[in-house]
Amino acid sequence: MPRRQIASPSQLSFAQELMWLLDQLVDCGAYHVPRAMRIQGPLNVEALQHALNRVVERHEILRTNYRTVDDTPLQVVSQSASVEIRHFDLSTLPAADREQRAGRLLFEEGRKRFDLTRDLLLRSLLLKMDADNHILMLMTHHIASDGESREVLFRDLHAYYDAFLKHTRPQLPELGIQYADFAVWQRQCLTGETLDRLLTYWRKQLDGAPKLMKFPTDHHRPPLQSFEGSAKTLTFPACLLSAFKDLSHQERTTLFMTTLAAFATLLSRYSGQTDVVIGTPVSGRSRTEFEPLIGYFSNTLALRVDLSGNPTFRELMARVREVSLGAYSHQELPFERLVELQPERDVSYNPIFQAMFSVGEQWRKPLTLPGLQVTMVPVDLHTAKLDMNLGLGMNEEQKWSGMLTYCTALFEGSTIDRVFGHFQNLLEAVVANPEERIMSLRLLSEKERHRVVVEWNDTKTPLPQARTIHRRVEEQVERTPDATAVTCHGESLTYRHLNGRSNQLAHFLRERGVGPEVPVGIYLRRSLNLPVALLGVLKAGGACVPIDPDYPQERIALMLQEVDAPILVTEADLKANMQEVTSEAIYLPRDWQDFEGGSDDNPVDGASADNLAYVIFTSGSTGRPRGVELSHLSLVNHNAAAVRLYQLEPSDRVLQFSSLSFDIAVEEIFPTWMAGGTLVIRPDDLSLVPADFLDWIRENRITVLDLPTAYWHEWVHELPELKTPLPETLRLVILGGERASPSAFAIWRKLAGNSVRLINTYGPTETSVIATAYEPKIVPGEDVPPILPIGRPIANTSTYILDVGQNPVPIGVAGELYIGGLGVARGYLNRGDLTAEKFILDPFGAESGSRLYRTGDLARYLADGNIEFLGRTDNQIKIRGYRVEPGEIESALVEHPAIQQAFVLLREDMPGEKHLVAYCVPAKLADLNGSELRGFLKGKLPEYMIPSSFVMLDRLPLSPNGKVQVSALPSPDKQSTATSNDFVAPETASETAMAMIWSDLLQVSPIGIHDNFFELGGHSLLGIQVISRLRKQFDLNLPLRTLFENPTISELSGLVDSSEANSKSVEVAIARRDRRVVRRPM
C-alpha cells in the first residue's frame, strides 16, 4: 500500500467523515472512548509519561486534527506532540470519599469535549488513591480509535513502559503505513465497478426496509436524537452458552448468528414488526498492514432479518445465516455510504437501524504493566449512540454475560431489566425446543405470566340473585315504590307507576307472541314512553332493539329486517319514516287505551339469564350494520358492577344523555334504577352549547353525567371562559368512547379538584357497555399524567393483551386487547362467520366454554397494571414509508394551549397524493395558523408525522354515538396548508441567497422557500457545505443541527434575518450567480 505525502493534508476516511459530522451534532461524549484501569503496585509515573508520548509518536492518528478547507474536512498531522497526564491526589481524602470522588472525576473527564481542530486525541488522567494504588484513564475519540485499537494501545503502552524500565528498545515492529494512508487507499478502492457492485447489493438488501423500529418506549421520542444513556448487565447460566454453541454447530451457524436470531425475535415480539434491521460492527481490518495500527477501521453492517410467516427458530437461523454471510461478503461499503441509500433523514433517530448487536467470543484482557497488577474499571459516561445496543461476551470471571446500553430519553431502567429478563427467557425457550415457532417462544417468566393473566384479572364478584334485568328493577320497585324513577320534560313516574305501565305493555306484547328470544323494535323520541317501552319489552320476555329516531328510513328498515322483529313500538309522529317497515306497529301513547286497562301485575315471562335482552347495532365494514346480541346475564353483571363502581345511591339524579341506540344508554338507565335513583331524560331540544348545558345541569340538580369523551373535551375547554363553578350537585362524570386528553384533564383538575369524581371507561358494545375503568387520583402539586389509561377490568371481567400468536405480551408492549368474562356478548346476529372470527374460546379461562372477544384495539399494560389504549390495530396509516398512529399526533396537538380538540386523518383527495390533515378546534379568540402549529409540532414529533395541512373548525362533527364523523370533515383548502406543494419563490435577500446556495450544491432549480433540503437530495455532508457557506456570506456561526431542525429556506431564513446578518454579503451572493439548472424529478 503506497504512503501518502505526509506534509500535505489528506481526506478523511468515510468513517472519520461520519465522526466529524456527528461531533458537530452531538456534544455529550457519546463518541468518546474511555478506558480506565486500577494499577496496584509501585507505578513509575515517569515511565508511564514516556510510554504515552512514544505511543503518540508511533501513531499519527493520535496527533491528527481536522480542518475544513473549501467546505471539505481534511486531516492534518502534527509532527510532534506530548501527552499531558493530569494528576489528582485523592490519598488525602477520607477512605470512604475517595472512590466517590474518583468516579466523579472519571465521568467529568469522559464527558469533556474534544476539540477536533486542535486537541491531542489521547488524553490521560491519573488518580492517586494511595501510595501503591492508582487509577489511570486513557481517553480517545472514536474518530481516532475503535474496539481493536484498544488491544494495540495496550500492547504498545506495555512495550514502551517495559523498555523504559529496562533501558532497552521496545519489541515492536516498524509500521509500514499510517491510518491516513488507509483513508486515501479506501477512497481510491471504492470507485468504479467495485463501488457499483457494493451499492447494488445493499440497495437491493435495504429496499423497502422499515426506517424506524417500533420498539415500545416509556417516553415520547425527542425531536432531536438524544445520546443520553445508561447500561444494564446480565450474566447467563453456563449451560445456556454451551447449549447455544451446540445448536450453532448443528445448524452450521456461528454463535453470533444464533444469538442474533434470538435478538431479532425479541425485537420482533416487542415491536410487532416482522421486518427488522439490526446493526453489527465488523473490524474492517482486512489487510495485515492494518492490524498494528490505532485508528477507526471498524465498519457497521445492516443485517435485515425477515421474520415473516412465523418460522421455527431453526428456520430463522438459516435466514440469519444467509443474510449474515451476504453482508460479510459485501462489508467493504462504509456505513456512511450505506446511509446515503436512504436520503430521507430524521434527526430524531439513527438512520437504517436503531438497535445494534455484537458478540465477543473472548474476554478482552486488560493492560499489563511489568511489576503491577492491573484491573479494568468500568466507566459509564451515561451515553448511548442508539436506542439500544446489546453486546454478548465473556466477563472478567469468564462467565457469559450481556451488556444492554439504552437511551434514557426513551426507556426507564425497569423496562430494560424486563427486556433483559425476557431475552434470557427466550434463549432458554430456544434451547428447550428450537423447532418451536418464534411467535410461540416463551418471553414471560411464570411470575410475570401469572401477574398479567391471573392477578390482574382477579375480578370475581358475587352476582345478584335475580339474573334478568327486569327482575332486578322489580326488586327496587318493592323497596322504593313511591320514589321518582324517571323524569322528562317536567313529567315524572314513580317506580310504582313505571312498573305498572310497563307490566300493562308487557301483557299486551305477550298476547302478540312476544317472549324469550323475540326481538321488538323500539323507535321513540325522548319521553316517558321510552323507559316504559324498554322495561315493557323486557318484562314480556322479549329483546329490545333500540332505533335512533334520526336514522334514515333505509337503515331503520334494514335493522328491523336483520333482526326479524315482528313488532315495533313507536309513535304516530314517526310514521312517515316507516314506509319500508313491515313490522306491526304499536303507537304510544295513541294505543294506550288498548292495554292500559289490563293487568299491572308482574308477568311471568319465562326469560332466563342466558336469553337475549338487547340487540345493539354497530357499523359494519361492509356497509351493513351488524347487530350485537347481549344477554340478560351480561347486562345484570355490568349494571351491578356500575352501581358499585359509580357508588350510585337513591339520591342520585343521572342524566340520560346518549342516543338510545348507543349502548351507553343501557349504562345510564338500568344501574340508576337498580340503585333507586332518578333517571333524568334530556329533552331532544336541549342545547349542548357548554354554557347552556351547564345551566341545565344545575337547574335539574344532576349528580351523575355519562358523556362521550369527544363532547367532554369540548365542554371542558369552554368551562374556564364561563367563569361559573360546576354545579354543587354534580359528583361524578363518566367518560367513554375515545381516548381522553391529558390537556383536558389538566383543565378539569383545576376546575373540579377532588369535588367531582372523574372515571375514564372503555368497552366495546360486544362486551356490554364497559369492560375497564380508571379513576385518576388528583394530588395537589403533582404533574398532569402524560396519558389517561383506560384502567383495569370491572367485576367478573378479564382483559388480556396478546400478540399475533395470542400469547400474553410483556408489560409495556403493544398488543391486541381481548376481553373475557360475563360481559361478553353472545355474538353477532345472523353472522355466524363473524362471530366465530371475533369471539374465540378463552385459553386462559377456568370455566369450560368461556370466550374472549377480539376488540381490534391496540393497548399495552403499564407497570401498575392499568391499560393504556393506543388505537386500532387497523388504524395505523403509512406515509412516506413510515407507519404512523394518528392518535400520537392528536395527543401532541392538544398539548398546544390554544387547541381544544384535534383529529388527524390521512387523505387522498387526488389519486396517489396522500397527505396528513389535522382538523383542530381552537380555543375561542385564538388566532392560529398552520405555520404556527407546524412549528409547535416540530418540537414534539418527527418531521414525517407533522401534517401537511391544518384545518380549523368550530367543532368536530360527531356521529350520534359521539364519535368523529369522518365523512363530514371538509377537504383542506390552500389557506390551511402549512407547507404546500405549490412553489413559492424566494423574495427576501436572505431567501434568495440561500436558494442559490442550495441550487448550486443540489444541482436543482428553481428552489422554493418551502422545499425541504433533505427531500431534494441533500444529505449530511452537503449540509456541512450549506452551513459553511452561510457562515461566510452572513457572518453567522450556525451549528449543523440548525439545518436539520430547520430544513426549509423559509425556516432557516427566519433565523438569519433575526440575527445581525451582513446584508452586503447577501447582495454579493445574489450577484455572483445567475445560472439555472433543471429541477430533477423527485
Whether residue 589 is preceded by a cis peptide bond, meaning omega within 30 degrees of 0, is yes
Is it the case that residue 1064 has pLDDT exceeding 50?
Answer: no
Residues 767/856, Cβ–Cβ less than 8 Å: no
> What confidence score (pLDDT) does residue 943 get?
65
Hey, is 677 helix, strand or coil?
coil
What number is the average pLDDT over the span 222-244?
92
Three cell numbers written together for 885? 398512529
* Contact in structure between 828 and 838 (CB atoms under 8 Å): yes
Orientation angle between helical segments 886-893 and 930-938, nearest 10 degrees = 110
Query: Phi and psi of 876, rounded to 5°?
Result: -65, 145
Single out the residue of 1082, 1078, 1081, 1070 nearest to residue 1003, CA to CA: 1078
Give first-to-last CA distance, the chain, whole Å: 41
CATH code given to domain 876-980: 3.30.300.30
pLDDT value of position 1075: 32
Q: What is the pLDDT of residues 995-1017, one digit of tens each?
A: 999 888 887 778 888 887 876 76
Q: If we measure between CA atoms, which residue out of 813, 887, 822, 808 comes closest to residue 853?
A: 822
The pLDDT confidence band at residue 787, using thresholds 50, 70 and 90, is confident
Q: Sort residue 612 into left (φ over 0), alpha (ψ -120 to 50) or beta.
A: beta
Report whether 734 contacts 962 (CB < 8 A): no
Angle at 977 between CA 973 and CA 978, to 5 degrees: 165
CATH number of this structure's domain 10-183:
3.30.559.10
Query: Nearest to residue 616, comparing CAs of 764, 505, 468?
Result: 764
Decide if pLDDT at 1046 tops 90.
no
State the cell numbers at 902: 384535534
**Longest Cα–Cα distance in the chain:** 124
Residue 201 gets the label, from left (phi > 0), alpha (psi -120 to 50) or beta, of alpha
> CA 470 to CA 484: how far, in whole Å?
17
Three-class SS state of 230: strand
Predicted pLDDT at 4: 75
CB-count exposure of residue 1024 (10 Å: 0-12, 13-18, 19+): buried
Q: What is the four-CA torsion angle of 48, 49, 55, 58, rounded to 10 degrees?
A: -140
Q: What is the DSSP letter of 725?
A: P
- Asked whether the beta carbons of 269 and 363 are under 8 A apart, the reply is no
Identify the residue with better confidence: 666 or 492. 492
Q: How far is CA 729 from CA 98, 651, 682, in A?
A: 64, 10, 17
- 3-state helix, strand, coil split of the chain in percent (to 5) is 35, 20, 40
Least-confidence region, from 83-92, 690-699, 868-877? 868-877
**What span, in angstroms and rounded, lies between the C-alpha atoms of 630 and 246?**
55
- Give the pairing of strands 519-523 and 543-546: parallel
The pLDDT value given to residue 624: 65
Rg (C-alpha) for the chain, rounded Å, is 35
Question: What stretch of H or E contains 67?
Answer: strand 64-69
The tens digit of pLDDT for each residue in 516-526 reads: 999 999 999 99
pLDDT of residue 286 exceeding 50, the answer is yes
Looking at residue 1019, what is its pLDDT? 66
**Does 67 score more than 50 pLDDT?**
yes
Closest CA to 422 of 440, 443, 401: 443
Range in 158-167, 437-446, 585-594, 969-978 with the lowest mean pLDDT? 969-978
Specify the range with the lowest mean pLDDT, choosing from 108-117, 469-478, 887-896. Answer: 887-896
Contact 1046, 1010 (CB under 8 A): no
Whether the predicted pLDDT of 1056 surpasses 50: yes
CATH superfamily of 989-1072: ACP-like (1.10.1200.10)
The cell for 72 is 471539505
* Residue 827 vs residues 204, 541, 823, 831: alpha-carbon distances, Å: 47, 19, 11, 8
Q: How many Cα atoms occupy the beta-carbon half-sphere of 45 within 13 Å? A: 16
Class of domain 472-549+557-615 as given by CATH: alpha beta
Which residue type, as a one-letter code, is found at position 789?
P
**Of the listed ranges 187-201, 263-277, 657-671, the one predicted with least confidence:** 657-671
pLDDT of residue 980: 39
Q: Which three cell numbers stand for residue 925?
A: 379568540
pLDDT band at 973 (very low <50, low <70, confident <90, very high): low
- Partners of 949 in the beta sheet? 917, 977
Per-residue pLDDT tens for 21-51? 888 877 778 899 999 999 999 999 999 999 9
Helix axes 632-646, 469-479, angle to 10 degrees: 50
Per-residue confidence band for 696, with pLDDT thresholds at 50, 70 and 90: very high
Q: Specify the range with the lowest mean pLDDT, choosing from 213-222, 510-519, 955-964.
A: 955-964
> Quick check: 1069 pLDDT over 50?
no
956-977 mean pLDDT: 71
* Number of residues assigned to the chain: 1082
Give ∠ CA 782-784-789 in degrees, rounded to 5: 120
> Count of CB atoms within 10 A of residue 118's CB?
10
Q: How far apart are the C-alpha atoms of 585 and 589, rounded to whole Å?
A: 12
Mean of pLDDT over the chain: 88
Q: Are 116 and 20 in contact (CB under 8 A)?
A: yes
Per the model's pLDDT, the better-predicted residue between 1075 and 97 turns out to be: 97
Question: What is the model's pLDDT at position 1020?
Answer: 64
The helices-and-strands tally (H runs, E runs) of the chain is 29, 40
Q: What amino acid is encoded at 628 in this protein?
A: V
For residue 124, list its beta bridge partners.
85, 138
Each residue of 874-895: pLDDT tens digit? 666 656 545 567 877 888 898 8
Q: What are the residues facing 67 on neighbouring strands?
A: 74
Between CA 706 and CA 709 the distance in angstroms is 9
DSSP letters along 841-893, please?
E-TT-SSTT-EEEEEEEEEEE-TTS-EEEEEETT--EEETTEEE-HHHHHHHH
Distances (CA, A) of 24 to 118, 183, 329, 1038: 15, 21, 33, 11
pLDDT at 607: 93
**Residue 1043 and residue 1013: Cα distance in Å, rounded?**
8
Q: Are 949 and 972 in contact (CB under 8 A)?
A: yes
Same CATH topology for 10-183 and 876-980? Answer: no
CA-based torsion, 481, 482, 485, 488: positive or negative: positive
Domain ranges of the chain: 10-183, 233-367+379-453, 472-549+557-615, 876-980, 989-1072
Question: Among 523, 528, 525, which residue's Cα sits nearest to residue 489?
Answer: 528
- Helix (H), strand (E) at residue 734: strand 732-736
pLDDT score at 80:
86
Q: What mean pLDDT is predicted for residues 298-309?
A: 96
Q: What is the DSSP letter of 775?
A: -
Q: Using the structure block, give the residue that is written with the C-alpha cell 375480578.
A: 459
- What are the pLDDT digits (tens) for 553-563? 777 888 888 99
Q: Is residue 667 scored above 60 in pLDDT?
A: yes
CB 56 within 8 A of CB 156: no
Strand partners, 952: 920
Q: Residue 1038: pLDDT above 60?
A: yes
What are the residues facing 130 on neighbouring strands? 133
As a whole-number percent, the residues of the chain with pLDDT over 70 amount to 92
CB 222 within 8 A of CB 409: yes
Q: What does the alpha-carbon distance between residue 808 and residue 742 come to, in Å, rounded to a whole number?
A: 28
Pseudo-torsion of CA 528, 533, 539, 543, nearest 10°? -140
With cut-offs at 50, 70 and 90, classify the pLDDT of residue 85: very high
Q: Is the link from the previous residue into 1006 a cis peptide, with omega within 30 of 0?
A: yes
pLDDT, residue 756, reads 95
* Phi, psi values for residue 1069, rounded to 5°: -60, -35
Condensed to tens digits (0 to 9), the pLDDT of residues 909-963 reads 654 456 789 999 988 767 787 778 888 887 666 566 788 788 999 889 886 667 7
Distance CA 746, CA 730 (A): 19
**Residue 810 has what DSSP assignment?**
P
**Which of 228-237, 320-329, 567-576, 1020-1029 has the weakest average pLDDT?**
1020-1029
What superfamily would CATH give domain 233-367+379-453? Nonribosomal peptide synthetase, condensation domain (3.30.559.30)
The model's pLDDT over 337-394, given as tens digits with 9 standing for 90+, comes to 888 877 566 778 999 999 999 998 555 677 899 999 999 999 999 999 999 999 999 8
What tens digit of pLDDT does each residue of 257-282 get?
999 999 999 999 999 999 999 999 99
- Which residues, other chains included, contact 594 with Cβ-Cβ below 8 Å and sequence gap of 6+? 508
The predicted pLDDT at position 366 comes to 79
pLDDT for 456 beyond 50:
yes
What are the angstrom distances between the C-alpha of 717 and each of 415, 474, 559, 581, 739? Answer: 35, 41, 37, 43, 16
Q: In sequence order, which residues have a C-beta less than 8 Å from that of residue 956 and are 6 or more positions away?
A: 710, 714, 901, 903, 919, 921, 964, 969
The pLDDT score that the predictor gives to residue 661 is 77
